[in-house]
Amino acid sequence: RNRNPRQQRRSPTPGREGSSPPSPAGHHHDTGPPGLESEPGSLRVATTLQKKPLPLYLCSPFADAALVKGNFKTIVMLPKYVDIMEWVAVNIYDFFTNLNEFYGCISETCTAQSCSTMSAGPSLNYLWTNRDGKQVSLPAPTYIDYVVTSVQQLIEDENVFPNNANHTFHPSFPSTVKTVYRQLLRVFAHIYHAHFGSILHLRSEPHFNSLFAHFLAFGREYQLLEVRDIKGEVNSPTVGVGALWERWKEKGILEG
């Protein structure tokens, strides 16, 4: 299983669980940069009574722009003779790499001034959980930097993402990648909410939508994402990318 360099092992489509820079990425307790530990509940939801216009990413034709037509089920299925842990590891690496590249293209518009919170909708702000368990509100670029640093450190740690076929995956790998996945979802959600205009300006909405649909399909297929991760808590209104997920399910692009 030689995943070195990983770039040579790509998933089938374009692009495929703290607080100190060095740390896992996701929902984590950390005091400085990232770790990967923001609990699913570490978000702030506020409801509003006034109905607001739909964001562009939920409007036609932008919501339906895609490179891949049809259902993503066949794309995410485990290939014959491939170890499931290896399949998950390779795809997470690809998703991380592609998402990081997209963020790099729009990062100049994501500043502490323009994005003072890690928002993913008018009623949704993600909080970072420090190592001491305290939840803090961070500017989006800081939050995303913590996520990227944490995930990169995990990927480069052969105890977590082994490159040698003689090394087995640690028993904690499933829970670790779930945390990574939730944090990557939050980066997707922020880009859709705050920077989709930049994606449109680059004429990259088909690429970004296909990457995100692939990410969602893979996450649900391998139980890396819960519905509440995508839509919010059960009794809260559908917010942010949760509505996009519902739309794609209705169109048969994704399954529940």
Asked if residue 105 belongs to a known ligand binding site, the reply is no
Residues found in the chain: 256
Question: Could you give the C-alpha distances from 95 to 90, 167, 250, in angstroms and in order?
Answer: 9, 23, 24
Of 251, 135, 145, 132, the C-alpha closest to 190 is 145
Q: How far is Cα 96 from Cα 75, in angstroms, rounded to an integer?
A: 18
Q: Which two tokens stand for residue 19?
A: 């607080």
Query: Looking at this protein, which amino acid is placed at residue 128?
Result: W
User: CA neighbours within 13 Å on the CB side: how many for 211?
Assistant: 28
Asked if residue 59 belongs to a known ligand binding site, the reply is no
Q: Which two tokens stand for residue 104?
A: 């790099």
Mutual angle of helices 173-201 and 84-106, in 10-degree steps: 30
User: CA neighbours within 13 Å on the CB side: how many for 151?
Assistant: 28
Q: Is 27 exposed, middle or buried (0-12, 13-18, 19+ CB in 10 A)?
A: buried
Tracing tokens 């996450």 back to the chain, one arrives at 219
Question: Could you give the C-alpha distances from 90 to 12, 51, 86, 103, 174, in angstroms and in order?
Answer: 11, 42, 6, 20, 14
Binding residues for Zn(2+): 110, 115, 190, 195
Binding residues: 110, 115, 190, 195
